[in-house]
Amino acid sequence: MDNTTRGESGLKKEIRLYNLLFPVWMLWLIPVTWLIILPANFLIDSLVLLAALKITRQKDVFGIYKKSILKVYGFGFLADFAGVAVLLLFDRLIITLADPRFGAFGETMDYIRLCVEYSPFNHICALIVVLFAVAVSAFLIYQLNLHVTFQKLDAADREKRILARSLAILTAPYLILLPYGFYASLLNL
């Protein structure tokens, strides 16, 4: 099957049948990836939480871990989806601006959108958008864990901020920065 069409300029333009980012699009496209993503995220969240609890010298590391890990895990997914929502909103906005009637501006917007979706490092604007989405996720991880997960923790405010900051920095969804080609080659798509 030919995945190309002729654009207004008469040049062939590839039609891509895949969209946005890992893991969200992969979870829909290949549902079995949930079997990998869920335990991998839980393991990473667990390791970061345990390390942060030890670094802040909490008295009952495993007791705090047991009370906190499910919230940490859930808030991590919630924050990841918020970051992807930022990208989806950007995508919808850019699709509006990527109209061929806008000429070169529309083509540039379309190129930036494709870079956001497939390879953010190919255009500085695309990289900024994706980094913003990662920052939104990290900010939410920090705020939710600081104000909900660790709210009743018997620790100094400074220690709670260190715990929340550690989770935000180390568990933010950096994988959305990787180009689509990385995932395609990994999964032979």
DSSP code string of 90-110? HHHHHHHHT-GGGTHHHHHHH
pLDDT at 145 over 90: yes
* Chain segment 66-121, per-residue pLDDT in tens: 999 999 999 999 999 899 899 989 988 888 877 777 788 888 888 888 888 888 99
- Taking the model in full, what pTM does it have? 0.79
Please check whether residue 116 is in contact with residue 130, taking contact to mean a CB–CB distance below 8 angstroms.
yes
Structure tokens at 5: 């069409």
Residue 7 covered by a domain: no
Residue 150 covered by a domain: yes
Indicate the number of domains in the chain.
1
Residue 11 covered by a domain: no
Residue 14 covered by a domain: no
- Dihedral sign of CA atoms 124, 128, 133, 139 in order: positive
Residue 34 covered by a domain: yes
Residue 157 covered by a domain: yes
Confidence band for 179, pLDDT divided at 50, 70 and 90: confident
Structure tokens at 68: 């906190």
Domain that holds residue 173: 19-182
Residue 145 covered by a domain: yes
Residue 5 covered by a domain: no
